[in-house]
């Protein structure tokens, strides 16, 4: 019988890649719904596969930021971003700054979720020799 411990041990080598792919797919699905703020949940799920907080945060940051970037490109919302940029900054053609801010916001949601997910994994199954002096 396969237990969760054996699955987690075998996935440690590819944990950041698995976290990146999972957070990308889940965040991309959530961006097409009206629940875009659930990118935090995508980060938590992606972070569960990372035994270290650093890798959980980095992989989920990249995954959700990439998902939000693909969403902006696919939905072609540059006109809306330009209008928001003109209102906020006061100059036409500043939509790229708003797009960068949106992508960074998504990445921060993912990084926070990834670090939470990694900590949940450490709480469930502590790493050998981690935190011991």
Total of domains in the chain: 1
Residue 132 maps to a domain: no
pLDDT-based confidence at 126, cuts 50/70/90? low
* Residue 7, pLDDT above cutoff 80: no
Residue 93 maps to a domain: yes
Q: What residue numbers bound the domain in which 87 lies? A: 4-124
How confident is the model over 99-108, as pLDDT tens digits? 899 899 999 9
pTM: 0.81
With a pLDDT cut of 70, the percent of the chain lying above it is 90
Residue 129 maps to a domain: no
How confident is the model over 11-42, as pLDDT tens digits? 777 888 888 999 999 999 998 887 878 888 99
SS3 labels along 89-105: HCCCCCHHHHHHHHHHH
N-term to C-term CA, the chain: 35
Residue 46 maps to a domain: yes
């Amino acid at each position: 019988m396969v237990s969760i411990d054996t699955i987690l041990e075998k996935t440690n080598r590819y944990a950041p890649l698995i976290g990146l792919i999972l957070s990308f797919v889940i965040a991309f699905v959530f961006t097409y719904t009206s629940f875009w703020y659930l990118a935090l949940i995508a980060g938590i799920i992606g972070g569960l596969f990372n035994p270290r907080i650093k890798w959980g945060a980095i992989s989920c940051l990249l995954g959700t930021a990439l998902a939000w970037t693909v969403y902006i490109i696919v939905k072609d919302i540059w006109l809306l971003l330009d209008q928001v940029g003109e209102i906020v900054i006061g100059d036409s053609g500043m939509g790229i700054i708003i797009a960068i801010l949106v992508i960074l916001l998504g990445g921060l949601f993912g990084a926070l979720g990834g670090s939470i997910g990694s900590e949940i994994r450490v709480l469930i199954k502590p790493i050998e020799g981690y935190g011991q002096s």
